[in-house]
Chains A and B, each alone.
Chain A
């Protein structure tokens, strides 16, 4: 074998090994993250974390029950804002839209998806917090809801497009009008994909912190109703992590573990659902 051939083959092996190392490094990052959170979070997680309120500064113990409920309430509000617009927008793009306007809507949706979450927070602040003069769950839910729209639109559109045209034609041939075809034939067939999209977008906004800092703010107590500052898991992790108390750090790890578990489980379930394919006929 000539030196040149030998050299080229070595380059081949070395470079591909390097790419393998790159992939390995990236994948191991996830396992590092999981490992550290399980280790530190698992040590600090206890029953009180789920059932107790935060204790006053200086006292150890307590939990984040209010933040868990608060996150749930914020996600509910966000769904009310984001899902109707997102899903109907997706239906428009897949079933009713023309060419040019659909392109504009799709492009704007992508842009909205790329807007930094903190900017969405400022927007919600200017339209809700400024006129009302106080932080509220409503403003937080609004900010998160706006962030849900892009993913909901795109996943709804994609799953509707995956439904075979023959199904639509079959329904139309039976004399069904268009909206009934969409509502009773196409939507149920695409339901699995739409639900997947909803889960992915919920998982995404569940971990958002930046848009909540100056909309929902935080609260160390239970907040009744929808018009008060409200605690949420991500904001609690942030405030506890940057505080100088060891006991708070411990709780931040516990909260991090709970949040990560929720987000990853929602993601895994959603992706497994999609990999099994869109089912027709059922529902």
Chain B
């Protein structure tokens, strides 16, 4: 029973091909691709760091609600069949219990939309949730209990008694294989490629390996247990979720519950690990359905056992890798075939042939993933789907062939390096695996490696040295939307439905946005919790602390320049905020003088420090730590030898000047214009697009 619609297949295939870039004729390359010295790649601490280390980042089960009920699930203990009897009377009568929902009284719902059956479908399988007495896998939820406390819900769940009319299900891999295999489909593509007659070429090859590699089932085991806090307001549904796909969740839940998509609000600011597993599973549907019936918000957090019952993982694989080669190592035949397990209601056969599609040149190819149908929980994307287990089989076979050929395993790989994609014929936009191997070999002392394993022992340990190629795909999907708001104060807010599961999206996207919009980095003093601001340590009095901040800025300035930040990022702009500036001139003279004298110590400081300050660093006007007369102040401006350094500021609401005027007296009109208009425009280019002042 194929679960992929042909039209959807075509949609997916086309979508992945879209997004022209610099190598496609007629394409418009992204302008920041080749920018080498901006914010991209700059080592910035995660912006959500302070929240996470203080425990203030809120995860899905941490949004408080009035009248919250807690959920517990009861799971089937047979793999296939029907529920015969289901006694929930003791559970319903238990203290604190508000609702026990089963297939008998569940809200009527549409079946879950399966991933890739529509653009925003997010379901692991296409089954209806708790709509009938059918059991499809051992672990399928058969009841949900809602109670005033988690302990009450868990206890009530333990009182539920079910009996089953079990059918002979297929739960062993051997039985599934024996029942017949189908070719797998992954993201709209059949997992089958044949080029030439690989079996014949293998048989004729003078050297060969032909082995079976098996990998077990895997579970993502994200440390945050799958959870959601859900609430209805009339026909609007709000889900605080732990999700990798909020837009998909909203659409899919709307579909299941028969709602307008705009009435389903899914948010997931922080996810405690996803790895492919935090998408739509039956606990979401059950929590929302039960919440509707009970008329109260619900918190569901799966137990660790529940995660194994409800959330799919990676299937086991049984892979055959056979390589036929010439004496010089060239591959005449590359065969990578085998079997994975999958339920009849799922469409994620582990695509372990993906690496073999691109890794090596060969005279002929036979690549195929076949599926054995089992009564089991749905598979899903799990930490490098196909790539991780597929490279295991492929790379082990290459290594074993190297032993057979008495050839260095890296050399064998080098000899089979393709100059274009071996199965599609497409050009590579970049490919540096050989350089990686060469560099790695040098750094790891590969030339000291024994060709025969088991030769090097240190104490109780046998030490070996090996290598393998890892691959990972890069897919571009259509439909991403961003809302960018730039305020007249010059602040930018970017809202996207991306996910912060720990990969640093919120930080990286901020860097990209800042780079793209040409935004400077502002440095402001304060919160002296880490290092004391001065060389005599922590001040005892506020005056010490505040005055000492100038020293902190001075040393920051020195460090940034001398460590070469502006050599690496010549276009980076830094704005020192509330640093004062009247100390600047003599300080920079001192820095400049010593750079001239001993600059051989820091050859990466490729411009005079004074020049770097003039081109890359700016200072806020306030506080003006001014001498008593304005003439002296004016001379200080001259001493800075540039009128481009100062940006207007007031330091409101706690300004540090007397009177009402943030601008000190006696500054020429030209300088005023520089401070208030020209210098800010130059530093914050977007300001120029606003209406003139």
Chains A and B come from one and the same complex: no
Residues of chain A at the chain B interface (Cβ within 8 Å): none
Residues of chain B at the chain A interface (Cβ within 8 Å): none
